[in-house]
């Protein structure tokens, strides 16, 4: 592996491409380190470049509608690498989103939110902008930060090191010694199914097919989806709820809680939520593989700095499993189903059982001892089967849409009851929260080709991930409640499991149906993909990504099976371990080019993270700091052993 040299010019010039949460997190750590005097009075120039909104980014842009909400409670979200210290908010010491909202409410009378409430995405964007402003405000005199609202379309290495960036608008060209690619969520070229649907829509006036994206960026207007028309929506995950709200609340409808007057449906308690239509909604027909709308997150009962200390799926257990694999096979790569999943399930089941015991077993010690002697048990606990929870309709057949609807509403109401029990006291939601809490250990097992490629594809990506994302990533309970109300109002119909979306040439309409629900077939004039596209470098339409790949400045991360030699191109960008230097097409580590977050998905797992947690040194923060430290290290070598070793299948 060769090395590319960097001779920084004076001033040291850094460019951050993309100022969503990842780009801002690096800017924050750069600024904190510079304020600590890391480079003395050496002049530093930083360009913060974003095509949509510098300081917030596309997903969190501040001009989006208010009904798009975050799925993390405000008390658990921060962009500062340290908490407030009584001084002004500044890099290294600033408020969490919850604290910031509280302060704004007190000082400026802005709407309040408790630490366990959810904020709109727009609000988080405003918070990000305030973090960005505090970064700019507290830079040392020797540091200049320039905001560049433009799209980078190409990057060319300069002969003496560093890069020339081409922009789509003024100033057209920038020069930088070191560059960070933090370009976030991609827009992908349509796949074969999407091409067919787009072609079908193109041949039939009045039909529309919308590819998956952030709903705030989708044309969900009345021209595309007219009032009274039928729209098919593919997917019942988080984005489904965004599209659902755009087509209901966004059309002037509202939710009221029966028995408590004309609330807006945001207050807790009271009677059932009911939808009051505006008459401008379309009829929504939806479905997914499971047929189950993504379940709600448990009511938050945890402190912001809560961490789950794993007992079974620990870093050490993963390292030992690798060692055992190596002794048995000469290869450190793990089998997810054999080496990881059983530990993960023990972890989840342990929390399930102990939460149940803690919250239901109110017997005195004497009673418990007596019961144990006589064989009597506390409330029995149903077994926890993640697959059954995620696929509740597997093998089921429904004789009519009404029969399916009744079963679905039962399940959704049961889920709401579980969510109300909380994520600490409710055994089910507490157990499912473990799936979120142990992501870092799972990362240790799977990142950088840590699994055998066949196990990665079949057991991890094919088996575990769909179940994991359905059960661990849910929306606030309020969203599920709203969906129940919309189903009851007949505005939304869930077709059923194994939902099939297609185009009917004869009818000139899209079709939605479930093979497991008799009579579920419906036709629609618009079809919306409500799933966030999985990153894939090869289908990325970004001119920057395309030119980087074409020029060989970046390369796709390929997992190779050491036994068979079969190569598995992942669609992720090849980077070293922290500080995430890009590895180019010749295998050279480019020490002046970094990539963080979503472009590196598949090389690393679960990069779609948008914040740190107050009081914790999260991976999100560590990633940012590693890059910031390296960017400020003039010409010094940085470690490359991690990635090289990982590629050879040795331990992390
Ligand atoms: C609809 C949606 C909702 C989400 N909700 C949550 C949530 O509630 N909580 C959570 O933690 N995560 C959420 N996520 C996950 C999300 O991935 C992270 O929150 C976060 O946005 C990732 O940050 P990022 O900086 O990597 O990417 P992004 O936020 O996508 O930012 C990347 C930025 O790069 C810019 N960019 C891209 N290419 C160029 C270029 N060539 N030139 C200049 N600029 C460029 C883009 O304009 C964009 O602003 C959500 C994601 C989506 C899609």
222-279 residue pLDDT tens: 999 999 999 999 999 999 999 999 999 999 999 999 876 444 444 445 789 999 999 9
Using the mean position of ligand 1's atoms as its centre, give its distance from the Cα of residue 70 in Å: 12
Identify the band that residue 560 occupies on the pLDDT scale cut at 50, 70 and 90. Answer: confident
* 357 membership: H or E segment, kind and range: helix 341-360
Using the mean position of ligand 1's atoms as its centre, give its distance from the Cα of residue 184 in Å: 5
pLDDT of 7 higher than 60: no
CA torsion, ordered 33, 38, 43, 48, to nearest 10 deg: -20
* pLDDT of the residue at 639: 36
**Ligand 1 proximal residues by C-beta, below 6 Å:** 17-18, 20-23, 49-52, 57-59, 70-72, 151-152, 182-185, 214, 239, 532, 542, 544, 597-598, 608-611
Task: Report the mean per-residue pLDDT for the chain.
Answer: 92
Average pLDDT value for residue range 455-476: 95
532 CA closest ligand 1 atom index = 53
How far is Cα 647 from Cα 603, in angstroms, rounded to an integer? Answer: 11
HSE-CB of 142 using CA atoms within 13 angstroms: 16
Q: Are 25 and 621 in contact (CB under 8 A)?
A: yes
What is the separation, in whole angstroms, between the first and last Cα of the chain? 19
Residue 355: count of CB within 10 angstroms of its CB? 23
581-610 residue pLDDT tens: 999 999 999 999 999 999 999 999 999 999
Using the mean position of ligand 1's atoms as its centre, give its distance from the Cα of residue 102 in Å: 25
109-143 residue pLDDT tens: 998 999 999 999 999 999 999 999 999 999 999 99
Strand ranges inside 57-139, DSSP E: none
Collapsing DSSP to helix, strand or coil, 576 comes out as coil
Closest residue by CA, ligand 1 atom 37: 183
pLDDT of 306 higher than 70: yes
54-80 residue pLDDT tens: 999 999 999 999 999 999 999 999 999
Average pLDDT value for residue range 295-301: 94
Closest residue by CA, ligand 1 atom 11: 610
pLDDT of 649 higher than 50: no
136-168 residue pLDDT tens: 999 999 999 999 999 999 999 999 899 999 999
Q: Are 553 and 155 in contact (CB under 8 A)?
A: yes
Closest residue by CA, ligand 1 atom 44: 50
* pLDDT of the residue at 638: 36
18 CA closest ligand 1 atom index = 34
Closest residue by CA, ligand 1 atom 53: 214
């Amino acid at each position: 592996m060769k090395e590319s040299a960097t001779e920084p010019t004076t001033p040291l010039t850094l460019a951050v491409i993309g100022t969503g949460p990842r780009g801002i997190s690096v800017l924050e750590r750069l600024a904190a380190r510079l304020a600590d005097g890391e480079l003395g009075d050496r002049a530093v120039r930083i360009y913060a470049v974003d095509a949509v909104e510098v300081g917030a980014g596309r997903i969190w842009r501040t001009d989006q509608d208010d009904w798009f909400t975050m799925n993390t409670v405000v008390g658990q979200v921060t962009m500062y690498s340290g908490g407030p210290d009584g001084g002004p908010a500044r890099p290294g010491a600033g408020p969490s989103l919850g604290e910031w909202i509280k302060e704004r409410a007190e000082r400026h009378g802005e709407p309040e939110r408790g630490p366990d409430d959810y904020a709109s995405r727009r609000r988080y964007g405003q918070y990000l902008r305030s973090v960005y402003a505090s970064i700019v405000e507290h830079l040392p005199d020797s540091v200049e930060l320039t905001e560049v609202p433009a799209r980078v379309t190409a990057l060319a290495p300069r002969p003496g090191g560093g890069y020339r960036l081409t922009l789509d608008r003024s100033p057209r060209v920038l020069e930088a010694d070191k560059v960070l690619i933090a370009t976030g969520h991609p827009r992908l070229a349509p796949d074969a199914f999407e091409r067919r649907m787009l072609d079908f829509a193109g041949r039939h006036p009045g039909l529309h097919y919308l590819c998956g994206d952030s709903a705030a960026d989708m044309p969900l207007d009345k021209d595309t989806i007219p009032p009274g028309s039928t729209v098919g929506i593919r997917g019942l995950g988080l984005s489904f709820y965004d599209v659902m709200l755009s087509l209901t609340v966004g059309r002037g409808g509202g939710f009221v809680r029966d028995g408590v007057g004309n609330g807006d449906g945001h207050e807790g308690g009271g009677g059932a939520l009911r939808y009051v239509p505006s008459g401008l909604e379309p009829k929504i027909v939806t479905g997914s593989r499971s047929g189950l709308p993504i379940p709600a997150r448990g009511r938050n009962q945890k402190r912001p700095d809560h961490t789950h200390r794993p007992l079974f799926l620990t870093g050490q257990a993963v390292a030992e499993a690798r060692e055992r694999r190596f002794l048995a096979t000469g290869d450190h790569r793990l089998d997810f189903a054999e080496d990881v999943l059983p530990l993960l399930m023990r972890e989840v089941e342990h929390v399930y059982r102990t939460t149940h015991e803690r919250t239901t077993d109110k017997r005195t010690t004497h009673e418990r001892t007596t019961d144990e002697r006589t064989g009597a048990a506390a409330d029995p606990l149903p077994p926890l089967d993640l697959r059954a929870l995620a696929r509740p309709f597997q093998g089921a057949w429904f004789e009519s849409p009404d029969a399916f609807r009744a079963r679905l509403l039962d399940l959704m109401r049961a889920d709401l009851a579980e969510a109300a029990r909380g994520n600490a006291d409710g055994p089910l939601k507490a157990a499912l929260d473990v799936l979120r809490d142990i992501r870092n250990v799972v990362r240790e097992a799977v990142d950088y080709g840590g699994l055998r490629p066949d196990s990665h594809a079949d057991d991890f990506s094919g088996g575990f991930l769909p179940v994991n994302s359905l059960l661990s990533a849910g929306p606030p309970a309020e969203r599920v409640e709203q969906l129940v109300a919309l189903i009851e109002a007949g505005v939304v119909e869930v077709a059923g499991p194994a939902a099939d979306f297609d185009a009917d040439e004869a009818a000139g309409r899209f079709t939605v149906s479930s093979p497991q629900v008799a009579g579920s077939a419906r036709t629609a004039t618009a079809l919306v993909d409500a799933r966030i596209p999985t990153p894939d470098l090869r289908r990325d339409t970004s001119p920057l990504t395309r030119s980087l790949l074409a020029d060989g400045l970046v390369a796709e991360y390929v997992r190779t099976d050491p036994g068979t030699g079969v190569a598995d191109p992942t669609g992720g960008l090849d980077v070293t371990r922290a500080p995430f230097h890009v590895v180019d097409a010749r295998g050279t580590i480019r020490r002046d080019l970094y990539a963080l977050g979503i472009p590196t998905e598949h090389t690393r797992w679960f990069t779609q993270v948008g914040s740190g947690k107050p009081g914790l040194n999260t991976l999100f923060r560590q990633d940012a700091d590693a890059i910031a430290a390296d960017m400020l290290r003039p010409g010094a070598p940085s470690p490359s052993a991690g990635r090289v070793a990982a590629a050879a299948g040795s331990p992390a």
